[in-house]
């Protein structure tokens, strides 16, 4: 049992030990070291404060951000889905912006605007007549005189079609800049109401005389003669006579500064006749249609400047109000 008088600084004295009259100077106790930012526990009264051991410095644990960085690095090491080539969905071909009708003049590289012979080939419904109507409207707007020989439709039908495409032929007819040569009506032994017509539509002399005589009125100008189409003429005239007479006609018109444009379905012609037309032509444009898609068609330039051409096909559609539209 501890009895005695409490010493303010030294604590309690044990019984049996002599108390010295003079106490040694008290040594202040070491200050209590508290962990940083941690409130220390207060010593209970009556007990000496025992200083806690000094904290041993420890290396700080790696911050969480480092793990995140490591995870990010691992993630970056692995290619993302966007980086992996997609086998299921191959890259789609860039779609070309729509082209205006004038794109046909770029494709033909001047052959539709200079004296010569141009063939527009294709099956029925491929857009040959629509293309010719668009060319006619374009020429007339530029001020070039035009003769349109129609064999497959009545002149009234041609006029209505041109009106739908935004070109009224009557104003050009009144100015004597546009002449429709009716080769359609007389095929059924009917009387034509047109000012210019062919009374013998399968007689080359009659055809040549009519076209040369009317084109000479515009001597010195850029004259366009559109013949739509020569299919029936090629079947009605013997092949040898056709080649000879047509070559003569094309030559005379070219000498007069005429651009002669004809439509034809070469697949229905004898092979030799088709070859003769190809050899004569300065330019050939092939039109085709896709039976599975009634709106989609293609135009491919097969011949330019009397030589074979390697030009990619152009896709086009036929609009009831705009005509031939490249897409």
Report the CATH number that the domain containing residue 147 is assigned in CATH.
Answer: 3.40.50.300
User: Is residue 322 situated within a structural domain?
Assistant: yes
CB 155 within 8 Å of CB 194: yes
pTM (2 d.p.) = 0.70
Instruction: Write out the H or E segment, with its range, that includes residue 308.
Output: strand 307-308
- Residue 119: pLDDT band (50, 70, 90) is very high
Q: Where are the alpha helices (DSSP H) in 9-127?
A: 64-77, 103-108
CB 297 within 8 Å of CB 315: yes
| Measured distance CA(261)–CA(283) in Å, rounded | 9
Tell the residue number behind the tokens 């705009």, with chain if given.
322
User: Is residue 161 situated within a structural domain?
Assistant: yes
Task: Kindly report, residue by residue over 57-85, the tens digit of the pLDDT.
Answer: 555 555 555 444 444 444 455 555 555 55
DSSP state of 294: E
Residue 92 or residue 114, greater confidence? 114
**What per-residue confidence (pLDDT) applies to 41?**
47
User: Is residue 212 situated within a structural domain?
Assistant: yes
Per mean pLDDT, which range of 247-251, 272-276, 287-291 is the poorest?
287-291
Q: Which residues are CB-contacts of 172 (< 8 A; sequence separation ≥ 6)?
A: 140, 146, 178
Task: Kindly report, residue by residue over 150-190, the tens digit of the pLDDT.
Answer: 999 999 999 999 998 888 999 999 999 999 999 999 998 88
User: Is residue 51 situated within a structural domain?
Assistant: no
**What per-residue confidence (pLDDT) applies to 319?**
87
Q: What angle do CA 206, 212, 216 make, to 5 degrees?
A: 145
User: Is residue 22 situated within a structural domain?
Assistant: no
**What per-residue confidence (pLDDT) applies to 107?**
94
Range of the domain at 260: 109-326
**What per-residue confidence (pLDDT) applies to 62?**
56
- Strands 196-197 and 283-290, bridge-based pairing: unpaired
Q: Which residues pair with 287 in a beta bridge?
A: 299
Task: Kindly report, residue by residue over 236-257, the tens digit of the pLDDT.
Answer: 999 999 999 999 999 999 999 9
3-state secondary structure (DSSP) of residue 9: coil
Residue 36 or residue 143, greater confidence? 143
Q: Is the confidence at residue 205, as pLDDT, over 50?
A: yes
CB 115 within 8 Å of CB 258: yes
Question: E-assigned strands of the chain?
Answer: 6-7, 11-12, 116-121, 146-150, 178-182, 196-197, 223-228, 258-264, 283-290, 293-304, 307-308, 314-319, 323-326
User: Is residue 63 situated within a structural domain?
Assistant: no
Number of domains in the chain: 1
- Backbone phi, psi, residue 30, to 5°: -65, 140
3-state secondary structure (DSSP) of residue 116: strand
DSSP secondary structure string, 215-235?
HGGGTTS-EEEEEE--HHHHH
Distance set, CA 162 to CA 78, 131, 133 (Å): 63, 11, 6
User: Is residue 251 situated within a structural domain?
Assistant: yes
CB 212 within 8 Å of CB 256: yes
User: Is residue 270 situated within a structural domain?
Assistant: yes
Q: What percent of the chain has pLDDT over 90?
A: 59
**What per-residue confidence (pLDDT) applies to 276?**
95
CB 162 within 8 Å of CB 136: yes
């Amino acid at each position: 049992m501890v009895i005695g008088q409490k010493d303010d600084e030294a604590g309690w004295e044990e019984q049996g030990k002599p108390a010295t009259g003079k106490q040694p100077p008290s040594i202040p106790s070491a200050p209590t070291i508290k962990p940083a930012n941690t409130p220390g526990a207060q010593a209970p009264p009556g007990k000496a404060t025992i200083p806690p051991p000094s904290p041993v410095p420890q290396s700080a644990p790696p911050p969480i951000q480092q793990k995140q960085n490591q995870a990010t690095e691992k993630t970056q090491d692995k290619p993302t889905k966007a980086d992996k080539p997609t086998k299921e969905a191959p890259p789609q071909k860039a779609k070309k912006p729509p082209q205006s009708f004038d794109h046909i003049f770029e494709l033909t590289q001047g052959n539709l605007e200079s004296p010569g012979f141009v063939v527009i080939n294709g099956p029925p419904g491929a857009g040959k007549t629509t293309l010719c109507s668009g060319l006619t409207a374009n020429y007339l707007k530029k001020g070039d005189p035009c003769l349109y020989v129609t064999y497959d439709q009545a002149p009234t039908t041609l006029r209505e079609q041109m009106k739908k495409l935004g070109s009224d032929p009557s104003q050009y007819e009144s100015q004597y800049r546009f002449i429709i040569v009716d080769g359609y009506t007389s095929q059924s032994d009917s009387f034509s109401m047109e000012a210019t017509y062919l009374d013998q539509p399968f007689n080359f002399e009659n055809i040549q005389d009519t076209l040369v005589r009317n084109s000479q009125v515009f001597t010195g100008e850029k004259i366009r003669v559109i013949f739509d189409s020569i299919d029936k003429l090629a079947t009605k005239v013997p092949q040898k006579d056709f080649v000879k007479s047509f070559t003569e006609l094309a030559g005379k018109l070219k000498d007069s500064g005429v651009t002669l444009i004809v439509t034809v379905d070469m697949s229905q012609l004898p092979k030799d006749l088709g070859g003769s037309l190809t050899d004569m032509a300065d330019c050939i444009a092939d039109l085709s249609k896709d039976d599975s898609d009634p709106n989609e068609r293609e135009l491919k330039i097969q011949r330019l400047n009397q030589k074979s051409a390697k030009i990619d096909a152009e896709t086009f559609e036929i609009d009831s109000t705009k005509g031939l539209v490249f897409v």
